[in-house]
Structure 1
């Protein structure tokens, strides 16, 4: 599956899902059971009183508003506001905190039609564009798009998504910025560095029926604007999910997901379905078309199938949701067609993806081989690591270096045999930031006429 990330050179009812920071060593599998946790309080910052602190001093240094001291006292109900011991923990309403703007940088963009909507105006954006609070973005079909935040978190928006950056700011008491992004339609994948610790500012991803609060994990959030349903699917880490009126969260681990109904009711935890696996090929009448068949989980109601012309899925061809794990390939040649398959359950939860490169090969040295292209369009100073992984897991490096000038933005590896390949492309976004795209695919070279 193709993924994007970036690093800096220097350094309607609502349902809630958040990442749990507690250790889960020894926890039993949750395929059928439900583990519950209290609903977190994300509206307050918890501050531990230090030697020399006073409420008035805290207000003057870190808060704003003419009645900040009054609101702070009301939020805590101190027995004696003049005698608060060192080590005491107090709640500070986030609405009172002084803050400065934080930024999000466009770190991946392979099309020219992504726009920032500002009221009735629409402005095109490009790689390196810096965004702030209030930005609304619409991602067109067939486009790869990623945002990188100041804490190196990455938001990867899928084709057709619409988002609004509702909150993006820093305060002097927390290391990481406070982030609130609303997904108004489509799907978004979130990768938050594990270094983001408990006590940092909230990182929330909302939909009109869900919120995901993050403390260092990797997961997806989906929202169907027509059906008004949401999905939370965990890849790494642990997430809690609840409806707004529910009093507890459902703890959801890696490889699991929770669907949320239009009324805001979280459903039972599900194990995410495995992707379809390539099984066979059937020649069709006339000899030019081939029916590619895949084995899929019986529980899959439908599939997400993304088709592209290159290994890094930069040039997308189509995106469909077939009900059968098969696809008709017309006039395959030595240049593969790239397919990305994911299984979708009846509740709308999507499992992990699997990439395939399928071609009609030519024979050299007793192996059927094909020519695999990478698309470097829009990448500044790209550097490619390309490897082949054999059946025993041994890795063979095919290239690890800068991509020199190529024709039509394509770098083509010729004569590759069937097998599993993985890759990573790093490129510059600006003088202060580099971005990365990585993925893995299985090459299937169908015997040709050579």
Structure 2
């Protein structure tokens, strides 16, 4: 009888110790407090922080501000969860001159900060030797290299792959492999000359001055599409896509480097 009671107690202890790990939810979106800066307008603030900029009257009502004219530098505003943009990722490393724009390229550019949340349509520019690493939720790490222009687009449709755009320059990416493996893309990189669909891999996308692209696969598989043609890259292979043309036949690259964390 005593052995049975002891066994039952041990089983309950194991269950309760494991329960928090099983029940722990993902980090939820939280309200944020912003301080109005010189030159910022209600329109700019709404564009940067609200999922729908037209809902600015709700932002004023929530903060008990009766008149839009009262939005002045130094004023603190709380942006509640129900008005906030979704968070696609966050910056994990910033070096040199890197700027962020939360209005899809409109409005002023400001220095990118470590820990900056990134939302759909946020853009990043690097100059000189500047570069930054961003963690994209459910995807992995993207390193935006020097003299590049990049945009986070997010999910183009609910449950679909996360999409980003490279307008200029180059990036490296380390995408977490799906478990179990799948043929579905979890990440897309769109450029003026090609689209790279990724399942789980390490790769690089580079644009030249004519916006033609070179996509190199260091590990895993990358599908490169342009002008209705798709080629598959495996480890140690690359393709070149001249703007307005189809990808060339994949070719071997001299070395397939591994992307290291900064």
Q: Distance in 2 between matches of 1:251 and 1:125?
A: 35
Structure possessing the higher radius of gyration over alpha carbons = 1
Deviation above 6 Å: which 4+ runs of structure 1?
none
**TM score, norm. by length of structure 1:** 0.36
**Contact 1:102–1:168, Cα closer than 8 Å, also in 2:** no
Gaps of at least 5 residues in structure 1 are 1-9, 12-99, 275-350, 355-423, 425-435, 438-450
Q: Does 1:190 align with 2:177?
A: no
TM-aligned CA distance change 1:263 to 1:152, over 3 Å: closer
3-state secondary structure, aligned to 1:204: strand
Q: Distance in 1 between matches of 2:157 and 2:115?
A: 21
The number of residues matched between the two structures is: 176
Greater percentage in helix = 2
Q: Distance in 2 between matches of 1:230 and 1:152?
A: 22
Q: Distance in 1 between matches of 2:155 and 2:91?
A: 15
- Report Cα offsets for 1:276-312 as digits up to 9, x if no partner: xxxxxxxxxxxxxxxxxxxxxxxxxxxxxxxxxxxxx
Alignment match of 1:223 (pick from 191, 207, 224) = 207
Q: Distance in 2 between matches of 1:199 and 1:233?
A: 19
Gaps of at least 5 residues in structure 2 are 1-25, 28-84
Deviation at 1:136, TM superposition (A): 1.0
Match of 2:245 in 1: 264
CA RMSD of aligned residues (A): 2.7
Match of 2:53 in 1: none
3-state secondary structure, aligned to 1:121: coil
**Contact 1:165–1:182, Cα closer than 8 Å, also in 2:** yes
Deviation at 1:269, TM superposition (A): 1.4
The structure whose RCO (Cα within 8 Å, separation 6+) is larger is 1
Deviation at 1:165, TM superposition (A): 1.1
Q: Does 1:148 align with 2:120?
A: no
Deviation at 1:230, TM superposition (A): 0.5
Aligned 1:43-442 pairs, distance under 5 A: 101-111=86-96, 113-117=97-101, 118=103, 119-151=106-138, 153-168=140-155, 171=158, 174=159, 178-195=161-178, 197-198=181-182, 202-224=186-208, 226-246=209-229, 249-274=230-255, 352=257, 436-437=261-262
Deviation at 1:250, TM superposition (A): 2.2
Greater percentage in strand = 1
